Structure 1
Amino acid sequence: MRSVFVALALAVTSGCVSVDVQENVSTAPDPVLAAVQSAHLRECPPERVQANARSGSDPQSIGVEAVDIAFTPLASDPTRAVRLRRITVQPGGVIAWHTHTALQGMAILLSGEMTEFRNSCLDPIVHHAGDVTREDADTAHGWRNLSDQPAVILVSHVVVRS
């Protein structure tokens, strides 16, 4: 009798196929990783650079969320630190006009699209994921998200330690 059950079990399972199922695994490339891997500096085209080309606009930030991620003290100056911050700008959002005389650093657009209005450029600069901008002591600028998608920016600045 036992051999009948074994034979039956073998007959039933002989047509079974083993399937490796992985749920929630995407084969699409990660767009944020792609932005970081293709990161490059975007600046005003040299022929469009002009001192005092623009002045303040958008006096108030709208639709902006900033989250401080980490601070690292500077060994060379214990009164200052490097701050890493994530900024999310909703569609139609604005980062108000501001200067970088006190805080210098860099920003990389991780996702979305942002339009920068810079004091030294005659034209707006449209930034896409992977674009990096420098924010030196001469920089004054404002940003607008003119797209229909949120934009995420990763910013690193040297700041005064509190």
Structure 2
Amino acid sequence: MDVRARRGRWAAVPVVLAAVWGLAAVPSSAAETAAGTSATAGDPPRVAAAGGEPIVEPLTEGFAPEGVAIDAEGPTDVVQKVITIPPGGTTGWHTHQGPLLGVIESGTLTRTLDDCSVEVSGPGDALVEPHGADHAHVGRNLGDEPVVLYATYVLPHGAPLSEPAEDPGCPE
């Protein structure tokens, strides 16, 4: 996954996000386990070897064919959530003050954006939700299994995760 930051002091943010999600390539010496094998995204959690080697526990992984860019300035909150939308459920129309990077773990998420375009994402898809007051959007689960979305919010310090917004008049 191509994750890039545009600001020098933010260069570590995508790496941290990717590492938390199990998306980053970890040098094999850092991922070695007591059994002497390296951890990958599909491996179960392992016990750390003597000497304080890290334990890598993947949560999910996704693919963004067009790449991902995260940009933040000033004091920033980084918040991770697991969002589950039941069949027939919706997020309601809302906005974010900063980017939301997400990976669909299961189910199918149908998002309608402020221009009434529709994006459908399934398991393994990575997405960045548009942000700003002029980028209202809604997520719906039109399928028959829960949508599980791993979401990382990158927000101005103290900002809410989302704010309710008006439907711009898009057809359902």
* TM-score, scaled to structure 2: 0.47
Task: Kindly name which structure, 1 or 2, has the bigger radius of gyration based on alpha carbons.
Answer: 1
Write 1 or 2 for the structure with the bigger share of strand: 1
* TM-score, scaled to structure 1: 0.50
